[in-house]
């Protein structure tokens, strides 16, 4: 392990995740403009955005197996070239299919980064997994903050609209991409924790039949949808509610970043499962406030929601890695893949649901593209804005059910873990 430079590898991992999160933040900021420029309806936009979410689980599930076989270094090289291809193709996109393919490549790259870096972090810090996973994953909301601010600032600079500023915004992602690619190229990487500990492949797969692991996979569906669907669609859902809709996402991501930075003492005080329960409660409250507050008050809901989703992803992974370590890299990556797959499916259906809601509030026989492309200030444009304003809260109201169900699930998890702890204590005292 002398040749393993732990801190440099952690920095490289964070930069790779930064590219992943920049793709989310920047795409969230330009999604509406892509729809206007390429005449795409909300359902088509949802399919494009959702492509990243099913490209992600495809890569992460396959990667869960391959990182043990070919090593994390080769897999991260694969991620680098996919990021490079996806970013360049996005910049030179000409319509639906080029946007679809470029987003797929970026999704595959993002999944490859998670597939290699999650087990890399647990291998580098075996005695402090959940805290370091939180520190690693703070760069996901951190990148969203950076990405949304890039979009916000450059759009303000380009008020005249003389250039397609979204192409410049996407191109900025090339900078951290080249840096993380170089760092992983020159550094030596360890084997995964499962390989190092000598756990056999068959034992790893048997451990994934544990009912607790299956329960956590199901819960991952809900935690991922609660966090990522709401974040990705912030600009679309709130653009008609406030002039600074994208800053809502920045607020949420900023709170997430701070929460993960100080996760250590919180996790040690409440336990990982206790943090998950608190997160579900705050997430439900945050979405409720986002639905019912207006104007500047929406930002108060964003802060509560940000606190709620701050710990979901890293604590779900940390719980599995610490409670069921024999599941190894495949277990971690199945969790991440399950979450992203759930988001992709949910986003696909909710995109169509949102379109139907808007159409239901427009005159009979209307077409979305005609109203969407209507010049600002016209009767058609005003009717479209009004329809979107009314439809957005209905989408969030449907999503609110998910964190409510998670509250029930995590109450059960806390009761189960407390009983298991008490049983082990009794056995220890008897021995």
Letter string b/e over residues 207-217, b meaning 16 or more CB atoms within 10 A of that residue's CB: bbebeebeebb
Q: What pLDDT is stored for residue 277 in this prediction? A: 97
Main-chain phi, psi angles of 105, to 5 degrees = -60, -45
Q: What is the pLDDT along the chain (431 residues), one digit of tens a residue?
A: 457 888 899 999 999 999 998 887 787 678 778 888 888 877 788 788 778 777 777 888 788 778 878 888 888 999 999 999 999 999 998 888 999 999 999 989 998 998 899 889 988 998 888 889 999 999 988 887 888 788 778 877 765 455 678 888 889 999 999 999 999 999 988 877 777 777 887 888 888 999 999 999 999 999 999 988 877 666 566 655 555 666 777 788 888 889 998 888 888 888 899 999 999 999 999 999 888 887 777 788 888 999 999 999 999 999 998 899 888 888 888 898 888 889 888 887 887 888 888 888 888 877 777 787 778 778 888 888 788 777 877 888 889 999 999 999 999 999 999 998 888 777 767 76
Maximum Cα–Cα distance for the chain, whole Å? 80
* DSSP state string for 238-302: HTTT-TTHHHHHHHHHHHHHHHHHTHHHHHHHH-HHHHHHHHHHHHHHHHHHHHH--GGGHHHHH
Which of helix, strand or coil describes residue 365?
coil
What whole-number distance in Å separates Cα of residue 67 and Cα of residue 112? 10
Rg (CA), the chain: 22
**Which stretch of DSSP H or E encloses residue 384?**
helix 379-399
Cβ-in-10-Å burial (0-12, 13-18, 19+) of 42 comes to: buried
Q: What pLDDT is stored for residue 232 in this prediction? A: 67
Chain mean position to CA 101: 19
Neighbour tally for 96: CB within 10 Å: 16
**Which stretch of DSSP H or E encloses residue 108?**
helix 96-124
Q: What pLDDT is stored for residue 1 in this prediction? A: 45
Domains and CATH numbers, the chain: 6-426 (1.20.1250.20)
* DSSP state string for 1-66: -TT--HHHHHHHHHHHHHHHHHHHHHHHHHHHHHHHHTT--HHHHHHHHHHHHHHHHHHHHHHHHH
Residue whose pair of structure tokens reads 């972090």 in the numeric block: 121
Show the tokens assigned to 38: 């390429």
Q: Alpha carbon of 245 to those of 65, 172, 236, 239: distances in Å?
A: 40, 22, 8, 5
Show the tokens assigned to 35: 């729809």
Strands (E), 69-211: none
- On whether the CB atoms of residues 82 and 105 are closer than 8 A, the answer is yes
Measured distance between the N- and C-terminal CA atoms of the chain, rounded to whole angstroms: 37
Q: Alpha carbon of 211 to those of 179, 200, 218, 223, 315: distances in Å?
A: 41, 20, 11, 18, 18
What whole-number distance in Å separates Cα of residue 269 and Cα of residue 410? 17
* DSSP state string for 249-267: HHHHHHHHHHHHHTHHHHH
Closest C-alpha among 132, 139, 115 to residue 21 = 139
Chain mean position to CA 144: 10
What whole-number distance in Å separates Cα of residue 99 and Cα of residue 423? 54
| pLDDT digit string, tens, across residues 127-158 | 888 889 999 999 988 887 888 788 778 877 76
């Amino acid at each position: 392990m002398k040749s393993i430079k732990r801190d440099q590898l952690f920095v490289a991992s964070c930069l790779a995740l930064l590219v992943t999160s920049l793709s989310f933040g920047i795409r969230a900021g330009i999604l509406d403009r892509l729809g206007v420029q390429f005449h795409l309806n909300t359902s088509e936009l949802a399919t494009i955005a959702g492509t990243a979410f099913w490209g992600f689980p495809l890569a992460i599930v396959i990667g869960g197996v391959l990182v043990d076989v070919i090593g994390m270094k080769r897999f991260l090289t694969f991620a680098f070239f996919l990021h490079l291809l996806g970013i360049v193709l996005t910049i030179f996109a000409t319509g639906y299919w080029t946007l679809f393919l470029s987003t797929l490549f970026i999704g595959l790259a993002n999944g490859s980064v998670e597939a290699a870096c999650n087990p890399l972090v647990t291998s580098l810090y075996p005695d402090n997994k959940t805290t370091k996973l939180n520190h690693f994953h703070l760069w996901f909301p951190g990148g969203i903050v950076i990405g949304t601010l890039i979009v916000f600032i450059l759009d303000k600079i380009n008020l005249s609209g003389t250039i397609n500023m979204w192409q410049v915004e996407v191109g900025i992602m090339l900078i951290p991409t080249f840096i993380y690619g170089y760092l992983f190229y020159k550094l030596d990487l360890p084997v995964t924790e499962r390989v190092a500990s000598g756990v056999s492949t068959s034992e790893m797969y048997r451990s994934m039949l544990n009912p607790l692991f299956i329960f956590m996979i199901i819960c991952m569906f809900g935690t991922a949808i609660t966090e990522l669907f709401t974040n990705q669609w912030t600009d679309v859902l709130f653009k008609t509610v406030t002039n600074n809709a994208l800053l809502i996402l920045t607020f949420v991501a900023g709170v997430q970043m701070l929460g993960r930075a100080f996760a250590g003492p919180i996790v040690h005080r409440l336990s990982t499962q206790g943090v998950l329960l608190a997160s579900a409660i705050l997430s439900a409250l945050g979405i409720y406030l986002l639905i019912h507050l207006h104007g500047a008050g929406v930002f108060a809901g964003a802060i509560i929601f940000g606190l709620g989703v701050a710990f979901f992803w890293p604590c779900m992974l940390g719980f599995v890695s610490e409670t069921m370590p024999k599941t190894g890299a495949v277990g971690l990556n199945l969790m991440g893949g399950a979450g992203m797959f759930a988001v992709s499916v949910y986003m696909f259906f909710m995109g169509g649901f949102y379109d139907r809601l808007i159409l239901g509030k427009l005159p009979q026989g209307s077409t979305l593209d005609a109203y969407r492309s209507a010049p600002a200030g016209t009767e058609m444009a005003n009717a479209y804005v009004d329809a979107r304003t009314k439809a957005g809260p209905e989408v969030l109201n449907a999503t609110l059910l998910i964190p409510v169900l998670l509250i029930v699930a995590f109450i059960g998890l806390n009761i189960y873990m407390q009983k298991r702890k008490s049983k082990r204590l009794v056995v220890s005292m008897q021995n």
